[in-house]
């Protein structure tokens, strides 16, 4: 029997996950498929419920469902519960279990591909959605010195920041407000966790750092991976900043999901190559 998996999100025109997940299945000789399941919000419940079928291994979850999908699941991994965001669903004999592999993908990406250790450092995180939740918990878990969460809707940034005790030094600011400008100036790492700059969206030509000066030597990471060089990363590179694309986090979180579905070690090098080829097409 061909086992099925895929990614739930809306829109999904930007997604290259099927390319590298299918390459991994093929490389290991696993009879499975991975597809992009573009799902409007009204259809999410039915799509998730269908994952209980015996042919389904599970699914990845992306924008805008990483938080809303939680109420549709039967169980949650302890870490996913703490983060409050799910990007991986595993079908365990009809029981749907939620996991978060974004955190490990994010930390591994900034450390191994960005040569960055957040311990004791000042970090600016743009966004307050599911991906931001993963990044915030990963950073605090790795002893970040201070974390500023910036969002265009202030109360969402405030809600996320309030989940951390005062000792963790996590604070909310309004995107493009005075606190945001100060955070841009003082951060050694700036991360965009929103869809700003993403291909096939209404904000693909936008840059959350538009008009702002980025210091040379700062690491700027965009979780958006399509295009590989987003307007924000181009802007940062021109200012002399170090840049990290969204590709390492994408592949590494996907590899962790693959491990959960199959019980096999994901062929990460094969997945990276397939992802790079997909973006080059």
**Catalytic-residue membership of 66:** yes
- DSSP reduced 3-state for 155: helix
Separation of alpha carbons 223 and 271, rounded Å: 17
Query: Which of the following is catalytic: 4, 35, 66, 81?
Result: 66
Secondary structure of 15-84 in HEC code, one letter for each residue: CCHHHHHHHHHHHHCCCEEEEEEECCHHHHHHHHHHCCCCCEEEEEECCCCCCHHHHHCCEECHHHHHHC
Residues 6+ apart with CB under 8 A from 228: 245, 246, 247, 279
Q: Using an 8 Å Cβ cutoff, are 7 and 18 in contact?
A: yes
Query: Residue 102 to residues 79, 84, 270: CA-CA distances in angstroms?
Result: 11, 12, 20
DSSP 168: G
Q: Which residue has the tokens 């096999």?
A: 264
Separation of alpha carbons 150 and 77, rounded Å: 27
Separation of alpha carbons 275 and 266, rounded Å: 14
Separation of alpha carbons 150 and 173, rounded Å: 5
Would you name the residues annotated as active-site residues?
66
């Amino acid at each position: 029997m061909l086992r099925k998996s895929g990614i739930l999100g809306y829109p999904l025109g930007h997604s290259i996950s099927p390319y590298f997940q299918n390459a991994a299945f093929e490389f290991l000789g696993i009879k499975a498929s991975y597809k992009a399941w573009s799902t409007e919000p009204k259809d999410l419940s039915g799509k998730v419920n269908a994952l209980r079928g015996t042919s389904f291994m599970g699914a990845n979850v992306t924008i805008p469902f990483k938080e809303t999908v939680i109420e549709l699941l039967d169980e949650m991994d302890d870490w996913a519960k703490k983060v409050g965001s799910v990007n991986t669903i595993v079908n365990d004999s009809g029981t749907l279990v939620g996991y978060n592999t974004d955190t490990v993908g994010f930390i591994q990406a900034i450390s191994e591909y960005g040569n960055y250790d957040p311990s004791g450092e000042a970090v600016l995180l743009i966004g307050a959605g599911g991906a931001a939740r993963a990044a915030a918990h990963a950073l605090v878990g790795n002893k970040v010195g201070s974390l500023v969460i910036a969002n265009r809707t202030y109360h969402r940034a405030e809600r996320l920041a309030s989940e951390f005790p005062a000792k963790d030094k996590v604070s909310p600011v309004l995107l493009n407000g005075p606190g945001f400008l100060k955070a841009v100036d003082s951060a050694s790492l700036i991360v965009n966790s929103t869809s700003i700059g993403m291909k096939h969206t209404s904000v693909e030509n936008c840059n959350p750092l538009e008009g702002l000066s980025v210091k040379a030597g700062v690491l700027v990471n965009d979780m958006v991976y399509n295009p590989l060089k987003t307007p924000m990363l181009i802007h940062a590179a021109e200012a002399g900043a170090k840049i990290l694309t969204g590709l390492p986090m994408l592949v590494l979180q996907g590899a962790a999901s693959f491990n959960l579905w199959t019980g096999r070690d994901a062929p990460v090098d094969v997945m990276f190559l397939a992802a790079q080829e997909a973006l080059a097409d």
